[in-house]
Structure 1
Amino acid sequence: MLTSFSISPCMGKVNSLSFLFVFSVLSNRFVISDNLTPRGVPLSRAALYDPQKDFSCLDGSKLIPFSMVNDDYCDCPDGSDEPGTSACSRGSFFCQNAGFVAGYIPSSRVNDHICDCCDGSDESGTVQCSNTCDELGRAAREEGERLAKLLKDGYQKRVEMASSGKEFRKSKDEEKAKLEVERQRLEIIKTEKERIKEEVEAPEKEALERYRLIEEEKQKLLNAAEEAKAASEAENMFILLDSNGDGKLTKDEIKTRQTFDKNKDGEVSDDEALFFLNMEEEMSKEDFLTTGWMMAKPFFLMDQGMFQPPIEDQEEEQEPSLMSGGQPITVTEAPLKELTEEEIQAQGDHVSYNAAGEKEIIPGVVEEQEEEEELYEEDGPASVEDVKVEESKYDEATQQLIDAAEKARSEFNEADKSVRDIVHQLEELNDVLNLDFGDDERFAPLHGQCFDFEDREYVYTLCPFKSATQKPRNGGGEVNLGKWGSWTGPEDNKYTEMFYDRGQNCWNGPNRSARVKIACGTENRLTGVSEPSRCEYQYEYISPAACSQPHHGHDEL
């Protein structure tokens, strides 16, 4: 019930001020309306604030006279008795905001000389607030219409993406089925090729085993012949050098042979003689046959120009140095004697010179040189390949077995490779089919695509379901920020965030990772990238696949 006031002229200025004061108090406590709803209270709660009754705190803790509501003193613990003042720290003020969005603000903002409600209802007294609700409402409606259109168009494209995604999965399923059939066919071929290979390899193995045994026996005979030849050669040389036939070699006997003049100064010194006797005064026949001849033989060959010591480095080649009595003995190679026609005809035997300079021919010492020369033709040496081919020849029947086995192995290897290739294709296909493209496959069309975003320093790339990378704009290597991990959005809408982990390691830090926030848009586009934490990146991405179905209805402003 609204109280009436009358002012007579005789009341004067004082009564006029009294009226203004009373009106101010009433306006601070009530919203001037038919039912006097207290200030700061929405119409939906008006029944709880009945001026004809005592007021019950909304938490039920107290019952106070209604005159104590909005008296700028907090009586209720929950602050419900002061909805229109700033007296209670826990209270809230309701902004009607006609033409815009109604809502609550904390009571502390009431009468703080700042207009918080667009209708200015939170401020009374000296502060005059402009009502901007219509303007804000119009802008909100325009934004709402834009978002509604975005949602509508985006959702339509999401439906199209979902349809494409289902077709994509269907095609991959069909491709997998075909590959499985082909794999089974190739497995059968491989099994058959393996059976054939094992069949033809068995007789080949037996034939090659026979040849191996024959070659081993032949090699044993050759080795025995070489050993006998070497022994005979050493025996003949010992007989030649043992001039007194006492079964041992002495320093004086060595010194009678010009062959042992290593430095070619015209005589064999004591040190040179001792070198060939293993630094002993004499050498037994047994020692000569086992070690002595091995030391002496190269010098006999050098006399004939047939010994060529191995050269490891032409530029750094040094003369060999031998030790005798703690002093180095340098071995030099003297100019070869020119052979007479008679000596040339005796090339198959070894020619040695005694202290008097007389030549001596020792039969059978260098027969191996003749064997090596047999490999040479008039126009040069035979090639190594020719020799190997000659050594690897088998009889016709064995060669046929080898050829058949080689062919079977080649065909099996080809069949095995075909199986491995198709198994690899199936593994890659299964990896794609195991990806979560959303409950309606709407994200599937993004597979195989990549999107870039450039800032002043870097080019960021997102390849959905594969990787996130970063590359300097001015050149440099690409940095892996993460590989596809999983969807990490909230439980009620997990398809709003992607997570890429296992990126390149940060120096003295963790492995890089990236989160992709996906918002509704009418196109698929990467719109921004930031690094909120060290080595942790955040991609902003829009896609129709993130647009939800529009609600058919409207909200009142």
Structure 2
Amino acid sequence: MLRGVPTSLHSKYVPSKPFSCLDGSTTIPVEFVNDDYCDCRDGSDEPGTSACPNGRFFCENKGYIGTLIPSHLVGDGVCDCCDGSDEYETTIVCNNTCFELAQKTKAEHEAKRALHEAGVAKKKEIMAKSIVTQSTRLTRINELEQDLQKLENELKEKEELKQKAEIPETEAKERHHKLWEEQRAVREAIARDNQMREMFADLDTNNDSLVSTEELQKHTELDTDLENEFTVGEVRSILGADSVNFDEFNVTVFEQISNSYQPLQQPSTETSVDLDDLAAATEAHLKKEKEAAEADARLKQEETHFKEEEEEEAAAATETTEGDYEEDPNRQEASSHIATSLDHGKHIHDDTPPEYDDEAKRLIEIADHARNEYSEVERKVHDIKRQIEDLKKQSDVDVGIHGEYSAFIDQCYDYEEREYTYRTCMFKDAKQISKGGGSDVTIGYWDSWSGPADNKYLKMKYSNGATCWNGPARSLTVTFQCGIEHKIVDVREPTRCEYAMLFETPSACDETIAATLIHPDHQEF
């Protein structure tokens, strides 16, 4: 009886003919077959014994699936074939379990077939929806591109209107700014001239129309070397001479001392006065207050009518010479008002520009309106461009030959384990999120489909994630298998920094498996 030979090879083992080794290496008498001696290099002459180390014994396994086992397992006292045919020469009694295995395998195959059948039904829904979605997406892109063309034309019109409105606005603002700068320059010139005149009068204590070293030396606040006395040499270095007249003081001295200069405190003396003297003093004091008020009024008038005052001051400056300088009869009073003039100068130097006039305000309002209209249309243009870009990116994503993976677009899936949450955003990135509050770690960015040649859509690759400590950049391989729902079922790190994810989805279900019929008859490999 010929044992261990598949039915498909029975024609090679003819009892009336010499046997040719299946590898063609030699031909032997047929009686050498299964004689427990290995004659063929491929072991094909001993299919029913364990003589050849590379021999293969065929288990017929009637009612189940025929299988090949290594021939060295034949007669080893262990039942390897479900029908027990591998132990035909031993006393071992093998129970025939082929029927039970057939029933179990049939149930497993049926469950697998049913799973794929249900998954394929959902897969077809996804593909049908993908066709509609893609068509809708392309239609929407076309509509948006038409809207964009109209808006871009409108934007050009709004830009022209904006530019036209901004020209008179800019001119009005420039006129306003120029006038304000001129006014401020005049006010500053008046304030400086008043301050300079009062300071000269205050320093010229002997009324000789000169400021001498002796007069300036009294103002020790001008001494930059605070540790030593204010020497004549230091004073002369400021004046440039033993004394200076009004014009020289204006040109060379005033700017040096204006920031540090302080009027001398007038000494007060206590004397006994009678009622007449007191009345006279009171009258003089009231007169000074009146004159001070009049001086303040003059300063305000100068500020209001700065142009007229500028012309007057310029004319006065032209007519004034060194010999023509006349001492103000109220010089002592002017000295007492230096601080007042300086305080008033702070107001004059105010950098807050005045409000625009009504015409300028009207032009600014028109320009603002034009700018707002331009900005609104520009915002719409940017929004439509963004929508078109997003839709085109979605259209360019490879979601399978028939769009079976289109349900993954813009979707993220989580997998919870003890320390981390793994989040995969399809066609974007994958992250490892610590449950202990640490920062997220990117384990890869979408790279490509990486399945086998016959179906590349069974795996996807995420690469160039965060670099491991002293290691490579992290990466993730997602393997898809048939399932009723889209979900991650397992995540592991089989190799350092290289993660493996198992993902169930209807998109991976196979139409061929779903249509397979389970045959109860004998199957042979």
Deviation at 1:293, TM superposition (A): 6.6
Which amino acid is the alignment partner of residue 114 of structure 1? Answer: V
Q: Distance in 2 between matches of 1:526 and 1:193?
A: 52
Asked whether 1:432 is paired with 2:391, we answer no
The SS at the match of 1:273 is coil
- Equivalence for 1:320: none
Is it true that 1:179 corresponds to 2:136 in the alignment?
no
TM-score (norm 1): 0.71
Match of 1:492, SS state, is: coil
Which residue number in structure 2 is paired with residue 41 of structure 1? 5
Aligned 8 A contact 2:191 2:341 in 1: no
Deviations 1:367-396 (A, max 9, x none): 633635878xxxxxxxx8xx846x2423x4
Q: Aligned AA for 1:43?
A: T
Q: Secondary structure of the residue that 2:421 maps to in structure 1?
A: strand
CA contact (8 A) 1:522 1:543 kept: yes
1:271 corresponds in structure 2 to 228
**Greater percentage in helix:** 2
Cα deviation, residue 419, structure 1:
1.0
RMSD of the TM alignment (CA)? 3.7
Amino acid at match of 1:432: Q
Alpha-carbon shift at residue 140 of structure 1 (Å):
0.7
Q: Which residue of 1 aligns with 2:69?
A: 105
Residue number among 153, 164, 169 corresponding to 1:204 in the alignment? 169
Asked if the contact 1:518–1:546 (Cα under 8 Å) also holds between the matched residues in 2, the reply is yes
Change (3 A) 1:365 1:75: same
User: Do 1:164 and 1:442's aligned partners in 2 also have CA atoms closer than 8 Å?
Assistant: no
Name the residue aligned to 1:393.
356
Judging changes above 3 Å, is the alpha-carbon distance between structure 1 residues 370 and 60 closer, same or farther for their aligned structure 2 residues? closer
Partner SS, residue 530 of structure 1? strand
Report what 1:54 is aligned to.
Answer: 18
Alpha-carbon distance in 2 for matches of 1:270, 1:215: 45
Aligned to 2:97: 132
Which residues in structure 2 correspond to 1:89-238 (within 5 Å)? 89-123=53-87, 124-218=89-183, 221-222=186-187, 224-225=189-190, 228-229=193-194, 231-233=196-198, 235-238=200-203
Shift of 1:230: 5.4
What letter matches 2:342 in structure 1?
Q
> Which residue does the alignment assign to 2:443?
481
- 2:36 paired with 1:79: no
Contact 2:202 2:263 in 1 (8 A): no
Question: Partner letter of residue 443 of structure 2?
Answer: L
The residue identity in structure 1 corresponding to 2:4 is G
Asked whether the 8 Å contact 2:113–2:516 carries over to 1, the reply is no
Distance 1:552 1:93 in 2: 29
Q: Distance in 1 between matches of 2:399 and 2:433?
A: 27
* Structure 2 counterpart SS, 1:498: strand
Deviation for aligned residue 1:88: 2.2
Counterpart in the other structure of 2:341: 368
1:69 aligns with 2:42: no
Percent pairwise identity? 35
Mark the CA change 1:279 to 1:120 in structure 2 (over 3 Å): closer, same or farther.
Answer: farther
Any idea what SS the aligned residue of 2:503 has?
A: strand
For the residues of structure 2 that align with 1:228 and 1:245, how far apart are their CA atoms? 17
> How far, CA to CA, are the matches of 1:254 and 1:201 in structure 2?
56
1:537 and 2:499 matched: yes
Q: Structure 2 CA distance, aligned partners of 1:275 and 1:163? A: 103
More displaced stretch, 231-240 vs 411-420: 231-240
- Structure 1, unaligned stretches of length 5 or more? 1-30, 32-36, 264-268, 305-338, 350-358, 376-383
More contact order relative to length (CA 8 Å, sep ≥ 6)? 2
Deviation, 1:238, is: 5.0
Task: Please give the alpha-carbon distance, in whole angstroms, between the structure 2 residues aligned to 1:398 and 1:125.
Answer: 116
Rounded Cα–Cα distance in structure 2 between residues aligned with 1:52 and 1:302 = 146
CA offset at residue 102 of structure 1? 0.8
Distance 2:104 2:389 in 1: 54
Name the CA distance, whole Å, in 2 between partners of 1:193 and 1:262: 62
- More deviation, 466-475/405-414: 466-475
